[in-house]
Amino acid sequence: MPAVNNVPELSLFLPAYNEADNIKKTVLDADKVLKKVARKYEILVIDDGSKDNTGAIVKSLIKKNKNVRLITHKPNRGYGGAFKSGLYGARYQLVSFIDSDGQFDYSEITKFIPLLKDNDLVIGYRIKRQDNFFRVLNANLWKLWMWLLFGLWVKDIDCAFKVIKKPVIDSITLTTESALTSAEFLIRVRQAGYKLAEVGVHHYPRTAGEQTGANPKVILKAFAQSLRLWYHMNLS
């Protein structure tokens, strides 16, 4: 990985729910990258009401590394809640995030950073998504739905690898807290006229823990909230 080193400060937040099998490696791998990329950095883990030892593992990492922080949700608020806590809880002028499940290689952030010279945020798209057929189908239908309702078209709307300038975050108010929230952020970013670039990233199979997305109730709630969001943005 080529050293960048000229990033003054960078936050990474990691939404996590029952990721005891993955969180330590994800944090340690990210720490190695951040040491080479940024002069000042933080790793912010959002423990979203985990029922396993995710929180305890992060606390043990904090004792050894002052750059690691923890926000704990009790009870679980879902991905949207974890996303918002990380997004608004990050301290530094560049904010990045990936999932905690080890399916992304954070060293690929070196692809994102040069693009921030001419853009306000850079979002990843999975070159070859390593998920089951149902998750991929749902994602494609969701992308089409976001385009039909809001005119938002990006290659991979919910790819959990993004880098955002903090002034962009500070200017956006999110009104949802569900599987829609990540998409709502992009909808409002587009609406506000910010410049966005996309970059391909590799996606790896999950090797430990269990996926918690693609729950039918979660999906239905997100679709219902998207209709309410469209109404409030266009008719209210």
Q: Which residue has the higher pLDDT, 2 or 225?
A: 225
Question: Helices 78-89 and 181-192: crossing angle, nearest 10°?
Answer: 50
Q: How far is CA 196 from the centre of its chain?
A: 16
* Confidence band of 5 (pLDDT split at 50, 70, 90): low
Asked whether the beta carbons of 168 and 194 are under 8 A apart, the reply is: yes
Cα–Cα distance, 201 to 104 (Å, whole number): 8
pLDDT of amino acid 176? 94
> Averaged over 10-39, what is the pLDDT?
97
The set of residues, in sequence order, having a beta carbon less than 8 Å from that of 197 and lying 6+ positions away, is: 115, 118, 119, 121, 122, 123
Beta bridge partners of 5: none
Rg for the chain, CA atoms, rounded? 17
Domains by residue range for the chain, with CATH: 7-234 (3.90.550.10)
Task: Give the CA-trace dihedral at 222, 137, 155, 228, to 10 degrees.
Answer: -20
pLDDT of amino acid 209? 66
**pLDDT (tens digit, 9 = 90+) per residue, 216-232?**
888 888 989 999 999 99
pLDDT of amino acid 220? 86
pLDDT of amino acid 132? 81
pLDDT of amino acid 28? 98
- pTM value? 0.92
Q: Which of 82, 116, 75, 111 is nearest to 97 (CA)?
A: 82
Whether the CA torsion 47, 66, 1, 13 is positive or negative: it is positive
* Confidence band of 161 (pLDDT split at 50, 70, 90): very high
The one-letter amino acid at 183: A
Give every strand in the sheet of 121-126, ordered side by side: 68-73, 38-48, 7-16, 94-98, 161-165, 121-126, 196-201
Cα–Cα distance, 71 to 86 (Å, whole number): 8
Q: Which of 184, 196, 174 is nearest to 230 (CA)?
A: 184
Asked whether the beta carbons of 41 and 27 are under 8 A apart, the reply is: no
Task: Write out the two tokens for 225.
Answer: 């909230």
**pLDDT (tens digit, 9 = 90+) per residue, 65-112?**
999 999 999 999 999 999 999 999 999 999 999 999 999 999 999 999
**pLDDT (tens digit, 9 = 90+) per residue, 107-153?**
999 999 999 999 999 999 999 888 787 888 888 899 999 999 999 99
Task: Write out the two tokens for 81.
Answer: 């809640």
**pLDDT (tens digit, 9 = 90+) per residue, 51-72?**
999 999 999 999 999 999 999 9
Q: Which residue has the higher pLDDT, 205 or 21?
A: 21
Asked whether the beta carbons of 100 and 14 are under 8 A apart, the reply is: yes
pLDDT at 2 over 60: no
* Confidence band of 235 (pLDDT split at 50, 70, 90): confident
Cα–Cα distance, 71 to 229 (Å, whole number): 27
Q: Which of 229, 221, 223 is nearest to 187 (CA)?
A: 229
